[in-house]
Structure 1
């Protein structure tokens, strides 16, 4: 059985998806873009600004599920431009604590957004170094 998670502090779009789905011990968070949840406007023009907003949006969804970014085991990031990868890595490293989740970064055409991030979290326990 799966449970839909709705986060009032994350952007609300009139699109057919849940903010997240809990399936067993895992939470699958839908892709979030760098949009301010109050205005639905893109947060800044740089990859750093939009990455920070993406991660805040993901964090709001994790919080609504009763967990934190420390429970994230996999991150998928979709960037509009390959040249933004180094700056994305720097912004990500400032916000996400080590040990870092497994991660995939793909350059893809995602319209006017510079980045979209989705994550998978393991609910019972946070990440730790082995």
Structure 2
């Protein structure tokens, strides 16, 4: 098992690693809409926040040698299910069919005042 802290990804706001690799799977901590350059939370629209979250996930995926095409499962947390379709549209734009498995959970709040958080499990293919 390897616990990973990714340079260039947003700094954690709690005690955790960005990812933990076990064999050829990587478990990625839920990413928030944090701007990596400033480490400030982007508190814009659900669309803006979802794009930032997915961009942060892309940073971690790339750093561990994976990508959205290798995501096996994800969990989406949103503070207002009235924005479910809006978040889905942005989320889906980062993938090609077939999509990974997914759970979406409506929550009463997220750290830092965010409205969107996504975590993932991805396969890490052998290095070429």
TM-score normalised by length of structure 1: 0.89
- Structure 1: unaligned runs, 5 residues or longer: 126-130
The match for 1:128 is: none
The list of structure 1 runs, each at least 4 consecutive aligned residues, that deviate by more than 4 angstroms after superposition, is: none
Pairs aligned (count): 124
8 Å CA contact 1:52–1:95 kept in 2: the answer is no
8 Å CA contact 1:6–1:64 kept in 2: the answer is no
How far 1:123 sits from its partner (Å)?
A: 1.6
Task: Please report the RMSD computed on the Cα atoms of aligned residues, expressed in angstroms.
Answer: 1.4
| 2:46 equivalent to 1:47 | yes
Structure 2 matches for 1:101-116, cutoff 5 A?
101-108=100-107, 109-111=109-111, 112-116=113-117
- Structure 2: unaligned runs, 5 residues or longer: none
| 2:97 equivalent to 1:82 | no
Cα distance change of structure 1 residues 92 and 14 upon mapping to structure 2, 3 Å threshold: closer
* Per-residue Cα deviation, 1:42-77 (whole angstroms, up to 9, x for no partner): 235111111111011111111111111111010100
